[in-house]
Amino acid sequence: MEKDTSRIEAFSDAIFAVAITLLALDIGIDIKDMQAAHPLSATTNSELLQQLKAEWPKIFTYFNSFAAVLLMWMSHHQIFKLLRTTSSKLILINGLLLLIIAMVPFPTKTLGEFLFTSAQKMAIIFYTGYSVIIASVYVLFIQVAKSRDNSLFLPNTPVQKINRISRELWIGFLLNVFIFILAFFIPLAALLLNFCMWVFWASTTRTRND
């Protein structure tokens, strides 16, 4: 049976690509303060090194968010590989998912700017809370895809595989909720756990190819 999801997949891939590209745009050394102190040509090695060190929170959050968006795309791609067609409701939920993913650079930039400042806790709460929003929409997405007795999936798709994907997305959602709550009490521990969610999502996307 011919698949009828190529256009929505192409559109979705483009949004994921844009989101990943936007993540890197904020990384770079701000030379305005350096130029205010002296001509840029007079910058010393130590001054440049100091500026590079100051950028590492942004680089850390960039890598974390890049990996997260990459794994989101892999999960999205693997689900669509199993779909035969879509519905109006699924297209709308997919649009909501893409809207939220396109905004990932916002919490990423916020965390990079305020990590290790007096506003660090709120930045981490915002960042981990955004992960909860993304995970919740993924859960909604798979539930809508299953809502027609799995009729949107390819006929040879095992029900066990569909249920496993749904279960993994639910587990990911609950883990993100736990991390978000932890951010109110131990922010840095919550950020570390959010970083370690790579392991969970990478393992689930790998097993879906088995």
Asked if 80 and 9 count as a contact pair (C-beta separation under 8 A), the reply is: yes
Asked if 176 and 128 count as a contact pair (C-beta separation under 8 A), the reply is: yes
Who wins on pLDDT, 30 or 187?
187
Question: Phi and psi for 153 in degrees, rounded to 5?
Answer: -85, 160
Answer whether 0.85 is exceeded by the pTM: yes
Average of per-residue pLDDT across 126-143: 98
- Average pLDDT in the chain: 93
Asked if 112 and 61 count as a contact pair (C-beta separation under 8 A), the reply is: yes
Count, residues in the chain: 210
Adjacent-strand bridge partners of 83: 153
Domain definitions of the chain by residue range: 6-25+56-207
Predicted local distance difference test score (pLDDT) of residue 209: 66
Measure the CA–CA gap between 125 and 179, rounded to whole angstroms: 9
Residue 101: which residues within 8 A CB-CB, separation 6 or more?
15, 16, 19, 69, 72, 134
Which residue shows structure tokens 């102190």? Answer: 37
Q: Summarize pLDDT for 9-63 with one digit per residue, the tens.
A: 999 999 999 999 999 887 888 788 778 888 888 889 999 999 899 899 999 999 9
